[in-house]
Amino acid sequence: SNQKALKKLGGPDGLLDLLETSLHDGISSASISERTGTFGANFTPSAPPPTFLSLLIDSVVEDATVQILIVSALVSLAVGVYDDPETGWIEGAAIIAAVVIVAFVTAGNDYQKEQQFRKLEDVAVSAKDVKVIRDGETHELSSKEVVVGDVVLLEPGDKIPADGVLMLCDAGGVVADESSLTGEIDGVEKANFDNSKTDPFVLSGCNVTSGSGHMVVVAVGRHSQWGVIKASLEKEQAQTPLQEKLDDMAAMIGYIGMAAAAATFIALMAIRFLALKNNTIDLSSDEGWFAAVLEAFIIAVTIVVVAVPEGLPLAVTISLAFSTKKMLKDNNLIRHLAACETMGNATNICSDKTGTLTENKMKVVDGVFGEVDFADAGTLSADVKTRVVECIANCSTASVESGTNHVIGNKTEGGMLLMLQSAEWKTERDYHQIRDASRFGEVGGGRIFPFSSEKKSMSVLVDVNASAAAANGGKKSTRGKQAAAASSSFRLYHKGAAERVLENCAFYTTKNGDVKKMTAAKKKAFNKYIHEYALRALRCIALAHRDDCQDDVDVHTIDGETCAEELEHGLTLDAIVGIADPLRPEVPGAIKVCQRAGITVRMVTGDNLETAVAIAKEAGIMTEDGIAMEGAEFRELTPAQLDEILPNLQVLARSSPNDKNILVQRLNGALLPEDEEAWKALHPLANWKKDKDKLLPGYVAEWKAARENGVGEVVGVTGDGTNDGPALKAADVGLSMGISGTDVAKDASDIVILDDNFTSIVKAVLWGRSVYDNIRKFLQFQLTVNVVALTITFVSSVGGYAPPLNAVMMLWVNLIMDTMGALALGTEKPTAALLLRQPYLRDSALVSKPMWRNILFQSAYQLILLLVLLFEGTAMFGDKFLRGDYCMNWKLSNGDKSYDLTAIGSLEVKEQYNGVGVIGSDLSAQSYYTTTETGDGTTCGDFYRVCGSDNNGECYQDNFASNYDTGFKSACLDNCAKTDYDYTHFTIIFNAFVWCQIFNEFNARQIKNDPNILSGIMQSKMFLLVIIVTVLFQIFVVELGGDWVRTTHIEFNYWAWSVLFGAGSIPVGLLMRLCPIWNEEDEESFFGYVMPS
């Protein structure tokens, strides 16, 4: 086994010698490069990201619409080449080219998103949150800087950065959560190597849930346990709720589009069948039927292309990727994408005090030491000073960086260590030497009982005789048998919340170091100090001791629970310390912003009630109608009683992590017991029938019944400690602290606040709202495009026209409106105005009433414009071009082959052309025409005699072409060469349609009633860039698209009219916002408390 192997190496001492390291001094910094070269770096490369090629393939394989387009393109290509080998391939090739462009753009966006998340992961890995000893000093490093031989200091909540062997640990050992490696949820006990069965090996990637100690690193990177299995744990980012909503909406719109496409196909085939029945077309040949079906199929596919809004999921991806990058600059590291948007609709923020609302720069500013005030501490006797200094040094795992005032570890403990550096408190030994002399973790040495959030205190057992011997010897540390042989006298040093420690004190220390009995009057006097400090918003910490503990318990085997029961009473009070942690100057303003935005801010703290209320009032959290209570009182409430005070509960003091968890559960209903079995697992000693409505946190059915819609609050919770994990998980958005937070808290959170500052949380709310509104802007824009394009395509097809917006045009529209529109509207920066409304309800509609009004107005304007251009466009522009895409020069294929022109129902030639008689309604007129009844029909060649052999397209259009005539064309004429088509009419319609979208993109920047669509436009550089690129590309497509897109060069006046028609969207946008219909969102869409005045 590993323990046997360690024993063969000579145990811990042999391992230390082999790795050339020391528990006290660590490794030498000079050996780092050699160690990295020999043992490797503590960095495991992530699984390789998907390649651009794989993402390109996925964009085709996973998109049914693209697959339909490819099939239709191939069919069109095959048929076109068969009919016209020279130019018939152009349409199919154009569709394929457009599909390739769309696929490349989609893959490019996915690739960029993947790269963005890799960068965010690198930021997380680079965080300096590992404490190691090097060259005898404590340093903070990132996990990837750890090397083999490093001595790492472990504390509760730390993530173990590498595989190692535990060398020193406190009384209860270390408990590690190895579930990430083994799947076992129970903690695994670890202890020093002492030839016992207890495991001394700690594994990378696991978390320390309790206990503290020193470990020596033995394996890093790919050689560690975490490195071996990391590749198999790679996970893709899950979709966010908003992405799922948009996927559902896109699917629904797609279904509607497919239904419209099917209806169009059926209608077109029905019209052709009726035309066949009335003898107005000839579909006798297989080619005729196939051409008719293919034409109807391509039109149906075009409608599908128009309808499916692939840009919706893309828009939220682009917006989230953009926002997460910007949020990182605002000190918000997004760990789960969903948190970004969810935070925007948060209705409650349950915030810690220390470091979040305050600066976390702890400084002792007042206190009473052995009955002497802080200002007179220099008059204390040596005995009192020694006890205070030893208590502070030993009851702490923090340290102060050499030569600076930078605290590594707990800031409260660091504040007291900084006090020891002042002249009044300097003693013969510094805090490092005092800790070394206590020999924590060694056999026969001192014992540490870590801070308990339940008791709000911690204790250590120290052999004061051994410590004194070390001091007299003048050594840094005492090791070995000589110290162990000295007569032992173990003292308990106890540090914690002042009022709780005072309750357990039966004695107090005087100025001269004498110990006197604690009287009621003296206790009242000490309580007065605590009360006065609390009113000044000072954190109150008491220091106490108890001598000769070896007479009462076995100090070498006692556990934390026994220590609390047997030793942490009858104490002697040595000092009460008042520690200032100034409120961050920007916090009161940030609190006001939250309250104005409909967000209730609550302070949940471990401080006593008076200190918490003083800070809360200074911050603006506590109002006149606000309620403040302590955790003990909170826990006694029934669910109904808690619900009653929840709207005004603003401060929860002396709270435990479980109190915070219960508060979150009652607010949002998360993780509540769902049935009797789950409730009993939470309350094993309670009776379901009698107690189910009495005990917190309640259960699901009761919680839903107590709320109008059964919908809970959206809760953001801050946390920094290991025990905050459950509350962070229960919250809709868990916010861990980047500086003071433990790794357990960070792993449980959704967002890491890198600077521990409440104002960064407000920025997270702002960005979340920005993401939500940006997606709605794009949705408003996209739905307008879809409604118009779908309707015009359907109407024109059923009305007998080829769709004015063909498949290739619509692919271009999809590209600029989906990808470019998503970039333009999805990357708009947030404005302060976003915080002037309440949060949206969890299940509120994405498309609000004002948005529907905007969509309908713009769609109506564009549809009227396009239909007028479709039916009256030729007349509007002086009949300078014919309607639709028409052939300018038809070629005969069958010369004078007999063909009965009477089959052409619309033929109305009123004059004699080149000897051809009158054909049409006036059959009684003089004529050379003879009917088929005489067996003497006219021929295909009569077409040239009527219309000429060159530039005959207009004559054909006027005299020979019926709406659905495929018979004469297929019997007598060759397919028109692509180069002989005139696309002017549909080019103008296409151009006007795109310019409508360009101008409507400005309208879409406002989703409510603000007429100022140019607000902040100069700050939206991406929006302006997209508009410029879209305009340039549109000019390119129109002027140079040719037979590929079926566009043609158009005159300047046609361009001017197209831009003018598009610009009409702007005044329509102004009018629609003045319309009294649907001008306000439903009040039911919003949530959040209205703050008490």
Q: Which of 352, 574, 756, 982 is catalytic?
A: 352
Three-state SS sequence of 483-552: HHHCCCCEEEEEEEEHHHHHHCEEEEECCCCCEEECCHHHHHHHHHHHHHHHHCCCEEEEEEEECCHHHC
Question: Rounded distance, CA 826 to CA 109, Å?
Answer: 13
Token duo for residue 580 = 């200032």
Question: Rounded distance, CA 437 to CA 439, Å?
Answer: 5
Q: Are 541 and 507 in contact (CB under 8 A)?
A: no
Pairing verdict, β 627-630 and 649-653 = parallel
Cis ω before 697 (30° cut-off from 0): yes
Q: Which of 577, 588, 546 is nearest to 563 (CA)?
A: 546
655 CA to centre of own chain: 30
Cβ count near 701 (within 10 Å): 14
Q: Which of 1002, 996, 997 is nearest to 1061 (CA)?
A: 996
Pairing verdict, β 715-719 and 348-351 = parallel
352 is catalytic: yes
Q: How far is CA 632 from CA 85, 609, 697, 910, 999, in A?
A: 88, 11, 15, 103, 61
What b/e string do you get for 108-117 counting C-beta neighbours within 10 Å, with b at 16 or more? ebbbebbebb
358 CA to centre of own chain: 26
Q: Are 940 and 899 in contact (CB under 8 A)?
A: yes
E strand or H helix that includes residue 668:
helix 657-668
Q: Which of 798, 810, 803, 857 is nearest to 309 (CA)?
A: 810
Cβ count near 562 (within 10 Å): 14
Question: Rounded distance, CA 888 to CA 292, Å?
Answer: 22
Question: Rounded distance, CA 1026 to CA 1004, Å?
Answer: 14
Token duo for residue 424 = 């009044």
Q: What are phi and psi of 846, to 5 degrees?
A: -70, -40
Question: Rounded distance, CA 885 to CA 803, Å?
Answer: 10
Task: Specify burial of residue 3 (Cβ count, 10 A radius: 0-12, 13-18, 19+).
Answer: middle
107 CA to centre of own chain: 21
Question: Rounded distance, CA 964 to CA 803, Å?
Answer: 14
Which of the residues are catalytic?
A: 352
